[in-house]
A and B are shown apart, each in its own frame.
Chain A
Amino acid sequence: MTKHAGKTLYDKIFDLHTVRQLPTGQYQLFIGLHLVHEVTSPQAFAMLRERGLKVAYPERTFATVDHIVPTHDQKRPYQDAQAEKMIAAMESNAKEFCFMLYNTQSGKQGVVHIIGPELGLTQPGMTIACGDSHTSTHGAFGALAFGIGTSQVRDVLATQTLAINRLKVRRINVTGSLKPGVYAKDVVLAIIRKLGVKGGIGYAYEYGGSAIEALSMEGRMTLCNMTIEGGALCGYVNPDKTTFSYLQGREFAPGLDAWDRAVAFWSSMASDADAVYDDVVEIDGSVLSPMVTWGINPGQAIGIDENVPDPASMIADEAQVASRALAHMGLVAGQPITGTPVDVVFIGSCTNGRLSDLREAARIAKGKRVHAGVKALVVPGSQQVKKTAEAEGLDKIFTTAGFEWRSAGCSMCLAMNPDKLQGNQLSASSSNRNFIGRQGSPTGRTLLMSPAMCAAAAIAGKVVDVRAVDVRAAAALEVR
């Protein structure tokens, strides 16, 4: 690279946080923000105790409880003794090692990737790590954010650093503008479909182009959240005015006295106009439809107006997984995905449990009724999302329509709590993974889609094109 070659945000943040190159050739990277939750941390604290180590930067360590928290009855002790034990361990670890824990009594508890941004902890130019693969979410702010395992959690606790290798950077341009009824969720499913679930191995994804720039911060979080589903460890959007105005006034955001200095630093971290990328991909955002998955990984997705693909028409690599997917899902090649009956609808998760997600779902559900026999859950991503949604009356819209209105947690996204599919139930889910068994039943089936599509499926009792039931989007379709 010549002296004048532009740098990507990835390279700028990586360089800024490099403590030194290790004898192995890996880099020792400083982690500016360490987020912690109850499921992947107890063993890390045990390792600290064994080795007589402290938490190096407790003021940069923030914890919450989300994965295992029941969303229905949160009375302590929890009915599930194992869950109670995990929560108690999180509480005693926070006390012993002296860092902030947002538990259910705090009023600020929630899914870790929802509360970080909500509190203003997540900021541009930072390195952020958490023992959770969806840490990529925080890349929405122009941060270098990625998931780590428990032994790495131990390293961050003990040293605030990690031993890691540099990634390549792939720029993904989504051009044009999204049509009504098409959301960030559809964009990311379309990207993973195009590049594959393993296409991102070895890469960080930089998202840009007019369709991305037009996304709200919440939309950008949905997009970056599912980056890991495409095999890329982290993904980001360069910080801009949308980012800065989201942050202003949040609890941990810089105050007015420091605001200009912060914005100057944040802006300086964005990729240079002449930045050099290892790969560039173009996607036309204006032709995207609402997406639905038909298989057992998030890359197995199609537009709502398409038919389930035939493994026979695929390359060998994909055909085997596709055949397994059809067998598990009980779907047949060539059938339309529209009309597939649903048993359960889940609206929530770190992907789509934010206020704008709930608003869109409520807009679709307003004045309608959940189809007979469908169990529909709305799980706000945080206590603050819940409170704001209730102030807007969204809870009433949902409960009047027959949805269950729950408390904040990961809920049925990974079913480590009482919210689970039963038997081979099929769910329309706003979450991020349709893996076999993911939603708590080994034979359960998951169709991933946007919150608006989920709400439409709950009302119809089957998969439908949200644009047909959403007056606003339907009008746009007519024009087309």
Chain B
Amino acid sequence: MAKHIIEVSGRGVVVRGNDIDTDRIIPARYMKEITFDHMGEYAFYDERFTQELGRDGKPQQKAHPFNDVRFRGASILLVNKNFGCGSSREHAPQALMRWGITAIVGESFAAIFAGNCTMLGIPTLTVSSQEIEELMQQVEAHPQEQLVLDIAAVRIAAGNLRGEASMPESIRKALTEGTWDSTSLLLDGKDAIAALAKRLPYLNTFRGGSQGTGDVGRA
């Protein structure tokens, strides 16, 4: 069973803006790898680094919260609306996670992105526009302060701020009960899966004519 995620705490990093898409979180050219090992290096790459090389022969840092020394070592990401829209690439939450992010608080999240975060054990909590603004201001003013996300109670504490957040009850349960890495939970339903497959008309009463003529895995 996966880790029970009851509480997440750490310092915050603020990435402002609505509709930040997964191409911005990780440009497609960095997905040409067969493991997720290096994804942390590519988080927000084009927003963090210049295309032109500097005198040292390396890309130069641009102003971005992930480059900001005040947020170094931060692990809780604060965002606005529709964060993670676009592509289904798990490379995006993988990049954030491997950069050091352990939880995200925002106004809203794109559906596939939020699902991917859950699969990695990264809670995505939602709060109102006013609340996220207060949290963002708090973190920007006091970047050294700890935020505490109580996943079990779905509450956030930051400095003097205390408040409720939202997350689907099923996701809260999956995280706190350690079933967010769902494979073994799903495997438990093995017999029920087989029984259902036997009931589906398109797998039984009218299977497709041909089962295909392509070669399996031919190199």
B-binding residues in A (CB < 8 A): 16-20, 22-26, 28, 30, 32, 39-40, 42-43, 46, 51, 53, 56-57, 59-60, 62, 67-68, 80, 82-83, 85-86, 88-89, 91-96, 98-103, 105-106, 108, 119-121, 123, 125-126, 131-133, 135, 146-152, 154-155, 158-165, 197-198, 201-202, 228-229, 231-233, 251-255, 258-259, 261-262, 265, 297, 317-318, 320-321, 324, 414-416, 433, 435-438, 440, 442-443
Does chain A have a CB within 8 A of B82?
A: yes
**Which residues of chain A have C-beta atoms less than 8 A from B109's C-beta?**
201
Q: A39-B31, A201-B111 are in contact. Are A261 and B18 (CB under 8 A)?
A: no
Number of A-B contacts (CB under 8 A): 278
9 additional contacts (CB under 8 A) given A18-B196, A416-B28 = A24-B179, A30-B200, A42-B35, A57-B197, A95-B216, A198-B82, A254-B209, A321-B18, A435-B86
Cβ A24 vs Cβ B34 within 8 A: no
- CB of A354 to closest CB in B, whole Å: 20
Most buried by B among A98, A121, A151, A202: A151
In the complex, chain A residues whose CB is within 8 Å of the CB of B46: 436-437, 442
Q: How far is the CA of A255 from the CA of B210 in the complex (A)?
A: 8
Q: In the bound complex, how far is the Cα of B211 from the Cα of A60, in angstroms?
A: 10
A262 and B33 alpha carbons, distance in the complex (Å) = 41
Cα–Cα distance between A231 and B179 once the two chains are bound (Å): 26
Jot down 19 A-B pairs with beta carbons below 8 A, ordered by A.
A22-B170, A24-B174, A24-B177, A28-B192, A32-B202, A39-B32, A40-B88, A40-B90, A57-B197, A103-B218, A133-B87, A149-B112, A155-B186, A163-B185, A198-B18, A252-B209, A254-B206, A261-B205, A320-B18
Q: Which residues of chain B are within 8 angstroms of A164 by Cβ–Cβ distance?
A: 115
Check A24–B201 contact: CB distance below 8 A: no
Question: B209 and A253: CB pair below 8 A?
Answer: yes
Q: Chain B residues near A99 (CB, 8 Å)?
A: 216-217
Q: Are B183 and A59 in contact (CB under 8 A)?
A: no
The interface of chain B, by Cβ under 8 A from chain A, is 17-19, 21, 23-24, 27-29, 31-36, 46, 51, 81-82, 85-91, 93, 108-112, 115-116, 119-120, 168-171, 173-174, 177, 179, 181-183, 185-187, 189-190, 192-193, 196-197, 200-203, 205-219
Tell me which of A23, A164, A324 has the highest count of chain B C-beta atoms within 10 A of its own C-beta.
A23
Task: Flag if B115 contacts A148 (CB, 8 Å).
Answer: yes
Minimum distance in angstroms from B194 CB to a CB of chain A: 9
CA distance A126 to B210 in the complex (A): 18
With A149-B119, A152-B115 as known contacts, state yes or no: A26 contacts B170, CB within 8 Å.
yes
Nearest-Cβ distance from residue B166 to partner chain A, whole angstroms? 12
Q: Which residues in A have their C-beta under 8 angstroms from that of B173? A: 23-25
- Could you tell me the distance between the alpha carbons of A253 and B203 in the complex, rounded to whole angstroms? 12
Chain A residue with Cβ nearest B205: A261
The 9 A-B residue pairs with the shortest CB-CB distance, nearest first, are A95-B217, A94-B217, A255-B209, A149-B90, A149-B116, A258-B206, A151-B119, A252-B208, A147-B88
CA of A86 to CA of B32 in the docked complex: distance in angstroms?
A: 7
Are B200 and A32 in contact, CB atoms less than 8 angstroms apart? yes
Q: A102-B214, A161-B189 are in contact. Are A95 and B219 (CB under 8 A)?
A: yes
A163 touches B86 (CB 8 A): no
Alpha-carbon distance between A415 and B218 when the two chains are bound, in angstroms = 26
| Docked-complex contact A149 and B186, CB < 8 angstroms | no
CB neighbours (8 Å) of A262 from chain B are 201-202, 206
Q: Bound complex: CA of A299 vs CA of B3, how far in Å? A: 39
Q: Which single residue of chain A is at the shortest CB-CB distance from B173?
A: A24
